[in-house]
Amino acid sequence: MAAGAAALHLHPRSAEGAESLAPGPVAAALRAVRDACPGVLVSLSTGYWICGGRAARLEAVASWTERPDLASVNLSEPGAEELVGILTDLGVGVEAGVASIADARLLIGSGLA
């Protein structure tokens, strides 16, 4: 932040060191960063690989008790549109991960933009 950063993107970790979307590690990471860097916007990854499945990811994110300002959603991943809906319902902004022309077309056609 001293160098001018206005936002941080995090990949919270479990006690074992694995990426996690579970509410406990997410809340702990958010609290630690917000305590250390008051006022910074915090974004979280929601990568599909973290939970290993569509339903597990949606359930984990829906159960967040502490919420980031933003969350990244890779549009090419299964369940991306549902995930955007959950994040929107939670009041979390969405960073759309657009990695290809197909992703751009999906974004335009989905109405999510």
Q: Give the mean model confidence (pLDDT) for residues 35-44.
A: 94
Burial class (CB in 10 A: 0-12, 13-18, 19+), 68: buried
Lookup result for tokens 């502490």: 66
Rounded to 5°, angle at Cα 110 from 66 and 65: 10
pLDDT at 109: 84
pTM for this predicted structure: 0.89
Confidence of residue 111 (pLDDT cuts 50, 70, 90): confident
Confidence of residue 4 (pLDDT cuts 50, 70, 90): confident
β 70-74/93-97 pair status: parallel
- pLDDT-above-70 percentage for the chain: 99
Q: Domains of the chain, with CATH numbers?
A: 7-110 (3.20.20.70)
Give 56-101 pLDDT, tens digit per residue.
Answer: 999 999 999 999 999 999 999 999 989 999 999 999 999 999 999 9
Mean pLDDT of the chain: 93
